[in-house]
Amino acid sequence: MCGIIAAIGTEPVLASVLRGLQNLEYRGYDSAGVAVGLDDSLAVCKRAGQISALVDDVRAELPDGTRAIGHTRWSTHGPPTDANAHPHTDCTGRVAVVHNGIIENHEVLKADLRDHGHRFTSDTDTEVVAHLVEQCLEAGDETGVAVRQAIDRLAGSYAVAILVDGDDRVFAARNGSPLALGVGADTFYLGSDAPAFVEYTDEVVYLEDGDLVTLSPTSFEVSNDGQLVTRPAETIDWTPGDARKGAYDHFMLKEIHEQPSAIEQTIRGRLTDDGVRLEELEALDFGAVEAVHFVACGTSYHASLYCEQLLRERGVDAQTFLASEYSGSPPPVDERVLTVAVTQSGETADTLEAVRIARAEGATTLAVTNVVGSTVTRACDHHLLIRAGPEIGVAATKTFTSQITALVLLAERIVQDRGTDIQGYPLDELAALSDNAARTLESPQAEAVARRYADADSFFFIGRGPCYPVALEGALKLKEISYEHAEGFPAGELKHGPLALVTPQTPVIALFSGENDRNTLSNVREVQARGAPVIGVVPEGSDLVYEDFDDVLTVPDTAPELTAVLGNLQLQLFAYHVADALDRAIDKPRNLAKSVTVE
């Protein structure tokens, strides 16, 4: 998704805006640009391509100033060209705008503006904002009024930041697209999320839909529906170093290796001698819940499938829905349903729409997310943070593991409140998960195996029970960053169609948990009979014979439910090393964005 950065203060801010653009690269982009407010003009530099080239051009071409806005664009309206890159300006060059989201009524607005003599130079929906502000200024409106009048005419999702020549302020607004305000000692920042400016301040104000922000060099104010409002500042609990690669070649590899600490952070304070204690959810009576509906997309959907299985095994009616399909045919929902929205960013548009539908039907809603102050935490009745820390790589790794860990705690709390006699989750083993994850990541097996199969035509991932969602996730991770074909299946479904695709060039990665392993082994025999090599992901101490496989990735012996979680770490390493062997852009895979904020 596109990224916004802006800064205003009493000292020059261009360097911090350029640094903010670099911090936003992980979100995915194909062009970028900057506008600087000077004493008597605006200076703009924007380019298709990499930020590194833009930075060189900006330093050579633009003077510094005390207010600036920047943007990383992910193409929607029009191809990635210099003309379509943000910031966009009006006819006179007096107004500069950066924008995330989609302005749904831009064609109507553009037609009206053209009728009034405005000339457009890009294919984007964003450019209408600059011309709307220009039109209001020409009508004699004061700058702040002109901005508000322009924003009021927009329909759709947006976060915008605006500079106007001759005015020493920065204006911004949000509706359905994330925007955060950073409060520094002598500078204010705007960013699509906190990593854009975290090295300059840890004090963040999370803006809400309908907010219009006016920033001066020394103060700011927030209004909503024409009324001044107060939004509390929060202190983020991670440091700039958390959002840097350090000694690792890629953010993804760093974040894979951060999983033991991420698991520990998710669990900390939530496991007691009496079971699970979730302080955030003390007011929620799970005993009154008759059914649990998960809504999620992508990796979060796979984590939800895992938790659905846990609940169903323990007598709780649970279902998982793809959020992108939910609005078309939502299930029957009432006040007896707990709808759990699982989203790493807290800004996933499809998931937020599913939440709105569920709430309208009377369901209690609960967000499971990684981002404090994200939209989903305000859209839901309750929220549970996974506490994984910042994740910069586009492909989710530690957030998936932390989602599963948080959802396990949630499932156990639901079972506790319902007072069922069903055997609970192995909480002692959950407490040891961090240590077992560290042991798994110490293994060098995955790199050698990955390089052996990097040139394969296709990859199949299979598993049963809790291994099935992990098989789906393993396939997704591989296709995301290697661009190779990969599919995940329930192991028993191979013979119902996919087996036709198996060849000696189709490695099959089979996950074993210690339960139903003999059935999965029968499926392994089926693919071996067709010449396919098999990589077994196997718990140590298993009675499986390792010679049954062409290659083996082992994980520490633990409860069957958690074996799958550890197996996922091996699959992440496998995907990473395949992509590395193929020289892919691992942290910024093509066509993908970290946060999907449009439906």
> Which residues are catalytic, by number?
2, 594
Task: Indicate the burial class of 259 (C-beta count within 10 angstroms; 0-12, 13-18, 19 or more).
Answer: buried
Starting from the edge strand earliest in sequence, which strands make up the sheet with 364-369, in order?
A: 317-322, 291-296, 337-343, 364-369, 382-385
Residue 351's nearest CA partner among 322, 316, 386, 329 is 322
> Beta 534-539 vs 508-511: how paired, if at all?
parallel
CA distance 185 to 188: 8
Rama region for 275: left / alpha / beta (φ>0; ψ in -120 to 50; rest): left
Residue 395's nearest CA partner among 148, 200, 145, 579 is 579
CA distance 427 to 417: 16
Peptide bond before residue 217 is cis, with ω within 30 degrees of 0: no
Amino acid at 190: L
The two tokens of residue 543 are 């009675």
Q: Which residues, in sequence order, are CB contacts of 47 under 8 Å at separation 6+?
A: 31, 32, 33, 53, 54, 57, 82, 85
CA distance 36 to 41: 9
Question: What are phi and psi for residue 586, nearest 5 degrees?
Answer: -65, -45
Please say whether the beta carbons of 401 and 418 come within 8 A: no
Q: What one-character DSSP code corresponds to residue 557?
A: -
Task: Indicate the burial class of 485 (C-beta count within 10 angstroms; 0-12, 13-18, 19 or more).
Answer: middle
* SS3 of residue 594 by DSSP: coil
CA distance 35 to 96: 7
Q: Which residues, in sequence order, are CB contacts of 158 under 8 Å at separation 6+?
A: 99, 100, 101, 102, 103, 173, 174, 175, 176, 177
Amino acid at 416: Q
Q: What one-character DSSP code corresponds to residue 491?
A: G
Q: Which residues, in sequence order, are CB contacts of 101 under 8 Å at separation 6+?
A: 2, 156, 157, 158, 159, 175, 176, 177, 597, 598
CA distance 413 to 283: 12
List the end-to-end C-alpha distance of the chain, in Å, as a whole number: 12
